[in-house]
Amino acid sequence: MGCDGGTIPKRHELVKGPKKVEKVDKDAELVAQWNYCTLSQEILRRPIVACELGRLYNKDAVIEFLLDKSAEKALGKAASHIKSIKNVTELKLSDNPAWEGDKGNTKGDKHDDLQRARFICPVVGLEMNGRHRFCFLWCCGCVFSERALKEIKAEVCHTCGAAFQDDDVIVLNGTKEDVDVLKTRMEERRLRAKLEKKTKKPKAAESVSKPDASEEVPGPSKVKTGKPEEASLDSREKKTNLAPRSTATNESSSGKAGKPMCGAIKRSIADSEESEAYKSLFTTHSSAKRSKEESAHWVTHTSYCF
């Protein structure tokens, strides 16, 4: 039955008991949530964005995720709710002046303080290391600690002055209960956006159709109120009156010398009843007529030099 060679087995080697549940180190979990990107698992570097569920991402990783058209996306579950770049907001973070990063640990012989964070709350000064609850405003992207929002109650952002509502406050890396509340808010916000788009489309179509209709519909001065028979008679009369006028204007405008109109009669000044002084002004008068001897010389070209 085994145990040859004088070996003495112990009870825990022969009897298999229940497996122990592996506990996750809280410090390591906080470091992973607040210092690494949820999508690419790389160190967070600016520009840093956050989704509607309060998770932190690198903006480059989100853009690559959206551009990836493959069927199998790496770590797609962490960002499956992100459909476009509008579903994330770029965060406005305040740097921690006491954070040195990797500058002082070039040799690797210095202890890394995990409680020290890169960013702090600009109002209270708490470090954003996971020990304190932090939140950001969806409308502007400013980040504050939850204590600052509770102590200084205002309807305006403390840094940029933008107005916000309670629905715009999103908790960063919250608990499961916080995530469930944020999911419901996210669904309501997206439904509201869809309804606004649907209402804007018919309004835009009406605004385009209104000027076209105003051009086609005549004004009050153009509309005639009367019987249709009278209107038709008036239009016929106008057409007949306008026809001779249009022909006269066309003949006068043309450069060709046409025949005189039938109504016009030629009259000579000699037959008129005007005075002799007035008649002498015209060439048809007898005083203006000269003989061949009195006519112009071929050199002078004028009838008055003889």
pTM for the model: 0.58
297: pLDDT strictly greater than 60: no
pLDDT in tens, 59-80: 999 999 898 877 666 556 778 8
Considering only residues 95 and 218, tell me which one the structure prediction assigns the higher pLDDT: 95
Length of the chain: 306
**Which two tokens mark 117?**
């964070």
* pLDDT (tens digit per residue) in 160-199: 888 998 889 999 999 999 999 999 999 999 999 889 888 8
**Alpha-carbon gap, residue 76 to 55, rounded angstroms:** 14
Question: Average of pLDDT values for 236-261?
Answer: 48
Q: How confident is the model over 11-28, as pLDDT tens digits?
A: 878 888 787 777 877 888
Residue 170 in tokens: 């999103």
Q: Cα–Cα distance between 201 and 225 in angstroms, integer?
A: 38
pLDDT value, residue 252? 45
CA distance 156 to 55: 24
Specify the higher pLDDT residue, 94 or 247: 94
Tokens of 47: 């520009």
Strand pairing partners for 280? none
Instruction: Tell me the residue type at 81.
Output: H
